């Protein structure tokens, strides 16, 4: 058996308990992912039938800015418990300004000296992937470990928020051991979020709107037909050590919804190729789901 054939066999074996309706395209997805020479964790679920494909979906990889989605979920969960107020004003100082991918705060207020409420900071964090806003939200929640504790209480055992953006930007992807998740767990979060099982209907709708207004690269959307409704959060590790995207995708003709999480990690040389591959993988699943 050739090296690639062995890889397909191993990955399919690892995910066989989860793959059902997408069995016919599993090998195609694995082939697309394997061509990049990077580690990958992929999970795609049809929410109305619970059928899914999960090549290496159990593998935990760095989330990068994808972690801003579970942070937002944790914030809204605390709001619903009366432990946080979206109307609370937060004063931003120069010390709060973060580098990396510069969002609205760093671009428009590099010296600080401005106030925003938590609602606006959440918008900046999710829609604009603002690193300054993310650290301010994390501080209001009690820090990364507190956020992970909140997620654990929601039954999410494989999503870990370990560091502030300040540390992420400075230290990068430390052996891929911090701020990680499996694609399966991110799809679990997407599915429960979409169903309204973890947040109220109003907060679910609000966060979906923020995700639909994302200004960061939509790698999954890149492979889908124009006009398809999707709510996403993408991520990129400094030095191109990881490129990720997660999304809820509404299928046309009342065919239901897909929850998609695609994570790549490694010494990525061509970021465009990874983005294109994420789009191709999403399209393979999208087209297959439309046949049902």
pLDDT digits (tens, 9 = 90+) for 2-22: 444 444 444 544 444 444 568
Q: Which pLDDT score is estimated for 17?
A: 42
Spell out the SS3 assignment of the chain: CCHHHHHHHHHHHHHCCCECCCHHHHHHHHHHHHCCCCEEEEEEEECCCCEEECCCCCCEEECHHHHHHHHHHHHHHHHHCCCCCCCCEEEECHHHCCCCCCCHHHHHCCCCCEEEEHHHHHHHHHHCCCHHHHHHHHHHHCCHHHHHHHHHHCCCCCCCCCCCHHHHHHHCCCCCCCCEEEHHHHHHHHHHHHHCCCCCHHHHHHHHHHHHCCCCCCHHHHCCCCCCCEEEEEEECHHHCEEEEEEEEECCCCCCEEEEEEEEECCCCCHHHHHHHHHHHHHHHHHHHHCC
Q: Which pLDDT score is estimated for 10?
A: 45
**pLDDT beyond 70 at 175:** no
Average pLDDT over residues 36-51: 95
Q: In percent, how much of the chain has pLDDT > 90? A: 82
Q: Which pLDDT score is estimated for 200?
A: 98
Confidence of residue 94 (pLDDT cuts 50, 70, 90): very high
Taking only the tens place, the pLDDT of each residue in 127-158 is 999 999 999 999 999 999 999 999 999 999 99
Q: Which pLDDT score is estimated for 21?
A: 61
Q: Which pLDDT score is estimated for 102?
A: 77
Domain count, the chain: 1
**Range in 6-10, 144-148, 174-178, 214-218 with the lowest mean pLDDT:** 6-10
Taking only the tens place, the pLDDT of each residue in 258-277 is 999 999 999 888 999 999 99
CATH number at residue 163: 3.40.710.10
Q: Which pLDDT score is estimated for 40?
A: 97
Higher-confidence residue: 207 or 11?
207
Q: Which pLDDT score is estimated for 18?
A: 44
Q: Which pLDDT score is estimated for 170?
A: 86
Q: Which pLDDT score is estimated for 16?
A: 42
pTM for the structure as a whole: 0.92
76 lies in which domain range? 3-290
Higher-confidence residue: 139 or 26?
139
Q: Which pLDDT score is estimated for 20?
A: 56
**pLDDT beyond 50 at 100:** yes
């Amino acid at each position: 058996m050739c090296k690639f054939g062995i890889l397909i066999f191993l990955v399919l074996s690892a995910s066989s308990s989860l793959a059902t309706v997408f069995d016919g395209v599993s090998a195609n997805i694995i082939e697309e992912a394997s061509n990049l020479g990077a580690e990958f964790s992929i999970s795609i679920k049809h929410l109305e039938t619970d059928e899914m494909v999960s090549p290496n979906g159990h593998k935990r990889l760095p989330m990068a800015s994808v972690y801003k989605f579970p942070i937002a979920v944790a914030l809204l969960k605390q709001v619903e418990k009366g432990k946080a107020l979206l109307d609370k004003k937060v004063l931003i100082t120069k010390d709060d300004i973060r580098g990396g991918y510069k969002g609205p705060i760093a671009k428009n207020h590099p010296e600080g000296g401005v106030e925003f409420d938590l609602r606006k900071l959440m918008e900046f964090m999710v829609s604009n992937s603002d690193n300054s806003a993310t650290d301010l939200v994390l501080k209001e929640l009690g820090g990364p470990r507190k956020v992970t504790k909140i997620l654990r209480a929601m039954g999410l055992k494989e999503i870990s928020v370990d560091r502030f953006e300040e540390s992420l930007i400075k230290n990068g992807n430390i052996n891929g051991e911090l701020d990680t998740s499996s694609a399966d767990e991110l799809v679990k979060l997407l599915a429960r979020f979409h169903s309204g099982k973890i947040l109220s209907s109003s907060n679910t709708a609000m966060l979906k709107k923020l995700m639909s207004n994302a200004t960061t690269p939509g790698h999954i959307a890149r492979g889908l037909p124009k006009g398809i409704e999707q709510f996403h959060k993408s991520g990129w590790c400094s030095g191109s050590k990881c490129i990720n995207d997660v999304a809820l995708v509404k299928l046309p003709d009342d065919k239901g919804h897909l929850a998609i999480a695609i994570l790549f990690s490694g010494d990525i040389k061509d970021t465009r190729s990874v983005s294109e591959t994420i789009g191709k993988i999403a399209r393979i699943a999208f087209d297959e789901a439309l046949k049902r």
